[in-house]
Amino acid sequence: MAVTDLSSGDLTPALDAVQGAEDAGSIDLRAAVTSLGRAALGSGRLIRSGAGFGVEAAKALAGRSDLAPAKGDRRFADPTWVDHPGYRRVKQVYLAFSKAMDDLVSDADLEWRSKERARFAAGILTSSLAPTNTLIGNPAAIKRAMETAGGSLGTGTRHFVDDLLHNGGMPRQVDASNLIVGQNMAVTPGAVVRRTEVMELIQYTPTTPQVHAKPLVIVPPEINKYYFLDLAPGRSLVEFALSQGLQVFIISWRNPHVEHAGWDLDTYAGAVVTAIDTAREISGSDDVVTLGMCAGGITMATVLSYLAATGSEKVAAAGFGVTLIDWNIPSPVGAFQSGRLLNVARRKSRSAGVLDARSLGSVFTWMRPNDLVWNYWVNNYLMGRKPPAFDILAWNADKTNLPSALHQQFLDMFERNRLVQPGGLTVLGEPFDMSSIKMDTYVVGGLSDHLTPWQGCYRATQLVGGHSTFVLSPTGHIQTPVSPPSPKAYHFTGPQPGADPEAWRAQATRQEGTWWNHWAEWTTSRAGDLLGAPETLGSAAHPPLVAAPGTYVFEGP
């Protein structure tokens, strides 16, 4: 990425970054562009879209267009885009082009994965060509340059050079200098009560005089550090669960390196079983309740199937948060479901020993380029401002690796949709079968989740063998787990889930409050009787080793 790209607004930054991600086995840009080309060439669609663009562009240039940005599109918030006739025309021509590209993909007669690849390429193209990405095309940036006598441009250039040298050429999303794990993030009191090579198990100090007998064991995803569930006071699911009288244990996964390349699903499932047994021993309870998040929910599902196969009743009830079980549901992530790409990904992680954190993050970043790339490009470079200091973004920047063996298995699940097939994979020596999970389950999805679409999460309710409850949060992938109580919070509940998720949604009703409240009621009703809260953490067999948040959370990529 050349320094001159700071004001050029061409496609070089996007293409360089995406190609770099492809080199790490993450994004197949060529397949996306090919799909976009197929969409354009099919049955006169290019002619129709081009004609539509021409008409709208002509209306815009003549001052007769009524095209306006979508609600929430902050790129054109400056009043100059409305008041100045030249800028207004540029904006509307760009919006006409973006609409033509969207229509081209939407109307294409393509298999859904190819359509998502085309949509991915079109999204990069249209977001990269936005006039607001350039200095001359961004009136707010011009005003700021004049107000600061050019100081904003000097600061922006320094930010750009620093990112080029130290952040892979990508604009930083967060100023994390004052957001520190153990000081103002992940600060709920507790202690590590079990440490293995793979994980630390944290037990938290109860905050109520009485607690439910059955402890809660939370299984976070292996591809993230656990503390998005304990961000800060008032925004911590751990803190909230404690306030509901639950005894809370959470796994903190170790950040794997090359020497841990062989860690696979058995490794992580075994660690979950260890965590469950440790929580049972410390609490004195025969069984526990669990909550698995995202990929952690997948791992937890394999453990529940294993326990069922071995006749164990260690888990009384289980919750799944934004956990995608059926990978055959149309979604943006399907853009990466191509044999060529997956083979490249396999070779890369196998040779490297891990899927490195930066490559993994590139996938999610370029799926939302306006929000996660160009927004910060404008803020950091054109406006010369620091990125925001926001706890979720600081956590997101605290990257982790994925061991090669587990990565290979996740790719296999993704490509062949193994989780919906009884016996499609084996864990801890037992064939996996979702229908063997007979206890009550709680499933939550996010309405605007672009990584694990709620319809795919909903499928879990049809695959498990016991009674299942589904709840829909009006949030995205990370915002769903991080949904603290607030006056604006709401969620949707509905009837007993049937086969059709859209039919369930049509009958669902809006409930005030976060889904956390609904989940807490569901969980506490299955967590046993109330008893006096323990005065100390751990036990004689598992004494506290170090205060929360432990040591593994500080390990870097």
Rounded CA-CA distance 271/264 in Å is 11
**Where is mean pLDDT largest: 49-58, 300-309, 325-334, 477-486?**
300-309
pLDDT of residue 5: 32
The residue-averaged pLDDT of 355-384 equals 83
Contact 318, 434 (CB under 8 A): no
pLDDT of residue 360: 62
Q: Is residue 515 part of a domain?
A: yes
Q: Are residues 89 and 64 in the same domain?
A: yes
Q: Is residue 91 part of a domain?
A: yes
Q: Are residues 389 and 405 in the same domain?
A: no
Number of domains in the chain: 2
Q: Are residues 393 and 405 in the same domain?
A: no
Contact 298, 413 (CB under 8 A): yes
**Lookup: tokens for 14:** 């996007």
**Lookup: tokens for 449:** 């989740």
Range of the domain at 430: 190-338+401-554
Q: Is residue 229 part of a domain?
A: yes
Q: Say whether pLDDT at 413 is over 70.
A: yes
The residue-averaged pLDDT of 123-131 equals 92
Rounded CA-CA distance 375/138 in Å is 12
pLDDT of residue 305: 98
pLDDT of residue 349: 80
Q: Say whether pLDDT at 122 is over 90.
A: no
Rounded CA-CA distance 165/159 in Å is 10
CA-nearest of 372, 355, 342, 388 to 14 is: 372
DSSP of 378-422, one letter per residue?
A: IIIIIS--PPP--HHHHHHHS---EEHHHHHHHHHHHHHTGGGST
C-alpha count within 13 angstroms, C-beta hemisphere, residue 28: 23
pLDDT of residue 451: 85
Q: Are residues 244 and 377 in the same domain?
A: no
Confidence band (pLDDT; 50, 70, 90) for 276?
very high
Q: Is residue 184 part of a domain?
A: no
Q: pLDDT > 90: what percent of the chain?
A: 71
pLDDT of residue 44: 58
**Lookup: tokens for 97:** 């082009």
DSSP H or E run through 248: strand 248-253
pLDDT of residue 362: 66
Q: Are residues 375 and 482 in the same domain?
A: no
Tens digits of residue pLDDT in 63-90: 999 999 998 899 999 999 999 999 999 9
Greater pLDDT, 56 or 278? 278
User: What amino acid is encoded at 376 in this protein?
Assistant: Y
DSSP of 334-373, one letter per residue?
A: GGG--HHHHHHHHHHHHHHSEE-HHHHHHHHHHHSHIIII
pLDDT of residue 121: 84
Q: Is residue 350 part of a domain?
A: no
Q: Say whether pLDDT at 28 is over 60.
A: no
Q: Is residue 347 part of a domain?
A: no
Q: Are residues 247 and 329 in the same domain?
A: yes
Confidence band (pLDDT; 50, 70, 90) for 25?
very low
Lowest mean pLDDT among 40-54, 122-136, 353-367, 530-544: 40-54
Lowest mean pLDDT among 114-118, 158-162, 340-344: 340-344
pLDDT of residue 346: 78
Q: Say whether pLDDT at 22 is over 90.
A: no
pLDDT of residue 365: 77
For residue 272, give the DSSP letter: H
Confidence band (pLDDT; 50, 70, 90) for 17?
very low
Q: Are residues 461 and 546 in the same domain?
A: yes
Greater pLDDT, 413 or 504? 504
The residue-averaged pLDDT of 94-111 equals 87
The residue-averaged pLDDT of 49-63 equals 87
Contact 411, 267 (CB under 8 A): no
Q: Are residues 392 and 407 in the same domain?
A: no
Lowest mean pLDDT among 35-39, 395-399, 528-532: 35-39
Confidence band (pLDDT; 50, 70, 90) for 48?
confident
Task: Report the chain's mean pLDDT, rounded to a whole number.
Answer: 89
DSSP of 91-110, one letter per residue?
A: HHHHHHHHHHHHHHHHT---
Q: pLDDT > 70: what percent of the chain?
A: 89
Confidence band (pLDDT; 50, 70, 90) for 244?
very high
Q: Say whether pLDDT at 106 is over 90.
A: no
Question: Of the listed 294, 360, 437, 463, which one is catalytic?
Answer: 294
pLDDT of residue 332: 72
Confidence band (pLDDT; 50, 70, 90) for 12?
very low
> Does the active-site annotation cover 294?
yes
Lowest mean pLDDT among 13-27, 263-277, 329-343: 13-27
Q: Are residues 541 and 427 in the same domain?
A: yes
Residue with tokens 């479901």: 337
Q: Are residues 315 and 463 in the same domain?
A: yes
Q: Is residue 351 part of a domain?
A: no
Q: Can you give the CATH number for the domain in which 228 is found?
A: 3.40.50.1820
Q: Is residue 182 part of a domain?
A: no
Contact 442, 497 (CB under 8 A): no
Q: Are residues 305 and 449 in the same domain?
A: yes
Contact 288, 203 (CB under 8 A): no
Give the Å distances, CA to CA, from 212 to 73, 146, 209.
Answer: 46, 62, 10
pLDDT of residue 38: 59
Q: Are residues 376 and 408 in the same domain?
A: no
**Lookup: tokens for 237:** 């699911």
Rounded CA-CA distance 218/109 in Å is 43
pLDDT of residue 161: 97
Backbone φ and ψ for 83, nearest 5 degrees, come out as -80, -35
